[in-house]
Amino acid sequence: MSQITKIKSIEHLTHDVLHVVLDRPEGLNYIPGQAVDIALNKPEWSEKKNCFTFTSLPEDDDIEFTIKTYPEHHGITNELLSSKPGDEVIIYKPFGDISFKGAGIFIAGGAGVTPFIAILKNLEKQNKLEGNKLIFANKRKEDIILENHFNSVLGKNFINILSDEDLEGYEHGYISPELIRKYADEHLKYYYVCGPPPMMTAVEAHLKTLGIAEEFIVKEGF
Ligand SMILES: Cc1cc2nc3c(=O)[nH]c(=O)nc-3n(C[C@H](O)[C@H](O)[C@H](O)COP(=O)(O)OP(=O)(O)OC[C@H]3O[C@@H](n4cnc5c(N)ncnc54)[C@H](O)[C@@H]3O)c2cc1C
């Protein structure tokens, strides 16, 4: 089943990430953390489905996505760079395995933060955000999505790690077992992990090394 909707606004959040707002199709429901296949409703693009995560909340009037663009792939994200309000999008049925199970440490790589944008926004709205931590891995400071937002809602519980820049106030390098141990807390039982495949493989191995049971690891690969 699919529905057609329209882009309401589209703008840059960072140098390579877009914030896309769409009219909410009638009857569309989802839970924070879920994703959906979308395609562009124009010749040669309507069959090319790609998956993106809702970064709006289910009760919002519009639906929103936060999309990292790859011009060199000549795929949908490159097409979105020249899309404009009024352009049509085909949207399919929401799905996805990442949802909130209990207080935890959210570990994201790049655009893998998108399910956590929705989940943390939802917790904030319910006044249940306190204590949860976000460890966000990026190459450089300019790549960090919603840095000001996360700083203001999470404060010291927002931990950034940069692989290609060594800056004061930011961890440097790749996520390691030591880094996870440094921020672990016995009250934070769950580990939510989302990012590109190499990052997922590494972080899952680190969690195993730290003796975290499978049942406390909630993950989705991008
Ligand atoms: C459940 C889920 C949720 C997701 N949610 C989000 C989200 O909210 N935000 C987000 O930004 N991303 C998200 N992603 C990732 C997102 O789906 C992909 O990054 C996106 O579809 C890539 O689009 P593209 O423009 O590169 O097109 P693609 O269709 O991926 O690529 C177009 C073509 O480029 C070529 N290509 C692919 N990779 C490379 C490469 N590395 N180098 C050179 N050429 C290449 C291939 O020939 C391919 O056919 C999610 C993924 C999953 C699985």
Residue numbers of the domain that contains 142: 104-221
Please state the domain count of the chain. Answer: 2
> Is there a domain that residue 99 lies in?
no
The CATH number of the domain holding residue 158 is 3.40.50.80
* pLDDT class of 195 with cuts at 50, 70, 90: very high
Same domain? 44 vs 115: no
User: Which residue has the CA at smallest separation from atom 31 of ligand 1?
Assistant: 75
Domain boundary among 69, 91, 113: 91
Judge if 213 and 114 occupy the same domain.
yes
DSSP letters for 67-123: EE--GGGTSHHHHHTT--TT-EEEE---B-S----SSEEEEEEGGGGHHHHHHHHHH
pLDDT digits (tens, 9 = 90+) for 55-85: 999 999 999 999 999 999 999 999 999 999 9
Nearest CA to ligand 1 atom 16: 51
Of 56, 91, 126, the one marking the end of a domain is: 91
* Centroid of ligand 1 to alpha carbon of 73 (angstroms): 8
Are both 172 and 208 inside the same structural domain? Answer: yes
* pTM across the whole model: 0.95
Let me know whether 81 and 113 are in one domain.
no
Centre of ligand 1 from the C-alpha of residue 92, in Å: 17
Q: What is the pLDDT of residues 130-157, one digit of tens each?
A: 999 999 999 999 999 999 999 999 999 9
